[in-house]
Amino acid sequence: MCELLGMSANTPTDIVFSFSGLMQRGGNTGPHRDGWGIAFYEGKGLREFRDPNPSCNSEIAELVCRYPIKSNIVVGHIRQANAGRIALENTHPFTRELWGKYWTFAHNGQLKGVKKLPLSHYIPVGTTDSEHAFCWIMDQIRSRFPKPPQRPATVKRFIKSLCDQLRDLGVFNMLLTDSRYLYCYCSTKLTWITRRAPFDQASLKDADITVDFAKETTENDVVTVIATEPLTINETWHPLNPGDMVVFDQGELCQR
């Protein structure tokens, strides 16, 4: 299985601390050696880094750790290949455009028979079941809502219904964002934590790194991190139940 990493924040924030822990699971403390990727939103733009090599010894991953890119929304992924060969085009996250926005998607799990789902506008570049599922989701949203609906809750409910359908095909843990909302769906395993004042220290599970967030933040900052498994050893993470979807906006839980 793969592992997911996401972040939603109310102010541009770097994810160096969390990514430093996750990258060790890509071939060092974990078996996810078959590529990694991470996407950072900056205004309307999207900065992506992907590599089919293990993240634990990737020079590109080291660059991401040394270069504190600040973003309100981040989606990351480390891969243990099941469907689709190890290749750059099969490395998550995947991105498509809708309503003049970049949508980004990462998936953990296997979906038996997903490629029988018909596609129209969005076509996969690679051969993974994950990218096919993403294209199907985007097709369904585009068909149902040619223009953005006035009520965002309408889209959220529709995305939840699509995730429920995909969960019937196997394991479907997912992160999806439209550059504002971060949708997090749990099929088997997904957990999250929101950090806000008063901030404290946090220590990674997979690397000998401790950060005092009180020195790195302001009292108004709200930062939520989502991961397949908790990344720290001294904080309380909130696990989702199978079939749960949570949505974050500017670091705050806005729908469950």
Mean pLDDT score, 10-22:
91
Checking if the pLDDT of 48 tops 80, the result is yes
Topology of domain 3-255, per CATH?
Glutamine Phosphoribosylpyrophosphate, subunit 1, domain 1 (3.60.20)
> Which contacts (CB < 8 Å, 24+ apart) does range 118-126 have?
122/96, 125/89, 126/84, 126/87, 126/89, 126/90
Full DSSP string of 122-168: ---SS--HHHHHHHHHHHHHHHH-SS--S-HHHHHHHHHHHHHHHHT
Q: Which residue has the higher pLDDT, 25 or 154?
A: 154
pLDDT at position 27 is: 79
Tell me: the pLDDT tens digits for 141-200? 999 999 999 898 999 999 999 999 999 999 999 999 999 999 999 999 999 999 999 999
Q: If pLDDT is split at 50, 70 and 90, which confidence band does 238 have?
A: very high
Residue 1's pLDDT band, with cuts at 50, 70 and 90, is low
Looking at residue 85, its pLDDT comes to 82
Q: Is 2 a catalytic residue?
A: yes
Q: Which of 30-39, 120-129, 205-214 has the highest mean pLDDT?
A: 120-129
Confidence at residue 115, expressed as pLDDT on a 0 to 100 scale: 95
pTM for the model stands at 0.95
User: What letter does residue 89 receive in the DSSP assignment?
Assistant: G
For residue 182, the cross-strand partners are 177, 248
pLDDT, mean of residues 58-79: 92
H or E stretch covering 214: helix 213-216
Find the catalytic residue in 2, 56, 65, 163.
Answer: 2
Q: What is the pLDDT of residue 141?
A: 98
